[in-house]
């Protein structure tokens, strides 16, 4: 009986691994994008935030999912690259504008993950005047002190403005730098 249970467990694990590998290797097309809200209260504040974003994420980021959930300590948002999922942690005092800003930042990370390769990332760092900066956080560094964080913050400027710009790598992007970002973020 134990051998049968072990075999069935192994088959289930192999099936799950094969399915995940197929998606990771691009053997299956990504599913349609989805948005989930943890509560109707969160939905009421998050829906205007989604509407404030002009980036056509449903077509530009196929297979990505957005989960709006309750607050989780100091974390405002997180992009799960392997799951193609964005989590927005909605605090009780967060306005729709706050949520839109966080969402735009996380969309910037999703765009970076889906579209940028090392040469494009190097090009971005060069244009931003920080060619030797790390792209990803290392040794506990803040997201805002990296190329990835700067790209996401610049994406945020494009989508919702520079009122709460937080990049520690470079100043608010110029028009020419935003043109490059738009080129990197869109297919057309």
- Cα–Cα distance measured from residue 114 to residue 102, given in angstroms and rounded to the nearest whole number: 19
Count of domains in the chain? 2
User: What is the reported pLDDT for 13?
Assistant: 34
Give the structural domain span for 23.
1-29
DSSP conformation class of 173 = P
Q: Assess whether 3 and 87 both reside in one domain.
A: no
User: What is the reported pLDDT for 158?
Assistant: 98
Q: Assess whether 146 and 56 both reside in one domain.
A: yes
Give tens-digit pLDDT for 108-159. Answer: 999 999 999 999 999 999 999 999 999 999 887 789 999 999 999 999 999 9
Query: Across the chain, what does the average pLDDT equal?
Result: 86
Number of alpha carbons in the 13 Å side-chain half-sphere of residue 108: 28
Give tens-digit pLDDT for 18-73. Answer: 333 344 445 566 677 789 999 999 999 999 999 999 999 999 999 999 999 999 88
Q: Assess whether 103 and 143 both reside in one domain.
A: yes
φ/ψ (deg, to 5) at 118: -55, -35
Cα 136 vs. chain centroid, distance in angstroms?
Answer: 13
DSSP conformation class of 113 = H
Report strand pairing: 85-90 vs 77-80.
Answer: antiparallel
């Amino acid at each position: 009986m134990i051998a049968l249970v072990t075999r069935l467990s192994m088959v289930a694990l192999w099936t799950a691994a094969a399915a995940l590998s197929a998606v990771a290797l691009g053997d299956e097309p990504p599913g349609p994008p989805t948005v989930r809200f943890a509560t109707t209260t969160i939905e009421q504040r998050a829906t205007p935030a989604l509407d404030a974003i002009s980036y056509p994420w449903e077509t530009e980021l196929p297979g990505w999912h957005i989960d709006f959930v309750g607050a989780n300590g100091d974390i405002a948002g997180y992009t799960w690259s392997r799951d193609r999922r964005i989590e927005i942690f909605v605090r009780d005092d967060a306005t729709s504008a706050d949520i839109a800003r966080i969402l735009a930042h996380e969309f910037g990370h999703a765009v970076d993950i889906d579209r940028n390769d090392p040469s494009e990332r190097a090009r971005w760092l060069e244009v931003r005047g920080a060619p030797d900066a790390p792209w990803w956080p290392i040794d506990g560094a803040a997201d805002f002190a990296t190329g990835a964080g700067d790209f996401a913050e610049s994406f945020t400027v494009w989508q919702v403005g520079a009122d709460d710009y937080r990049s520690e790598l470079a100043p608010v992007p110029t028009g020419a730098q935003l043109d490059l970002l738009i080129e990197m973020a869109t297919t057309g």
